[in-house]
Structure 1
Amino acid sequence: MMNSYKFFSNKECEFFPCHNTGDIEGFNCLFCFCPLYTLGEFCGGNFRYNKKGIKDCSDCNLPHKAENYEYIMSKFKLLSELARRR
């Protein structure tokens, strides 16, 4: 597979698929724990805040699509700036 570093699918995972994308074969587990979670509303994904104010990403498929690899990687500069400020 070309660019195989951008895609990993763990069909043996007890939670697979953790989100309903409609595309089991194309489900990407590479970013299982989304690195964009801490960006809040700047992550670019489909999320909501629950009644307790906790970010709920259960309807988000952004990290589970191989074509979003470049988008996620483009946010690492912002993530490192946020980490440096803290």
Structure 2
Amino acid sequence: MDKKEEMSKKYWEEKEFSYFSHRKCEFFPCHKNADENNFNCLFCYCPLYTLGNKCGGNFRYLDNGIKDCSDCLYPHFKENYGKVVERFGEIVKSMNEKK
């Protein structure tokens, strides 16, 4: 990797803490049509769920009002780690509003 590439990388890219694939999990991969070679289990339970219809993922609401994220792979792509983490402020605000 040259200096220009290195400088353009985010602090979390290619770091171990930003990607974890738990291939021994009984449910791996837990989403249909998932790419097993690019499936980040770090956000097994998506922190964006609490943002409701503003999460940015591929979800739907069931007839009973439950949010169904089974077709969403957004938090599981390695390259989306930073995008999820950057939204933690919104998550905290959303949680505080629900108190």
Q: Please report how far the alpha carbon of residue 5 of structure 1 lies from its aligned counterpart in structure 2 after TM superposition.
A: 1.1
More helix by share: 2
Q: Distance in 2 between matches of 1:49 and 1:2?
A: 35
Moved over 6 A (4+): none
Q: Which residue of 1 aligns with 2:59?
A: 47
**TM-score calculated relative to the size of structure 1:** 0.92
Indicate if the aligned counterparts of 1:21 and 1:61 stay in contact, CA closer than 8 A. Answer: no
Q: Please report how far the alpha carbon of residue 22 of structure 1 lies from its aligned counterpart in structure 2 after TM superposition.
A: 4.0
Unaligned runs of 5+ in 1: none
Q: Distance in 2 between matches of 1:78 and 1:2?
A: 25
Percent identity of equivalent pairs: 51
Q: Which residue of 1 aligns with 2:32?
A: 20
Indicate if the aligned counterparts of 2:34 and 2:73 stay in contact, CA closer than 8 A. Answer: no
Q: Please report how far the alpha carbon of residue 47 of structure 1 lies from its aligned counterpart in structure 2 after TM superposition.
A: 0.2
**TM-score calculated relative to the size of structure 2:** 0.80
Unaligned runs of 5+ in 2: 1-12
Number of residue-to-residue matches in the alignment = 86
* One-letter code aligned to 2:56: G
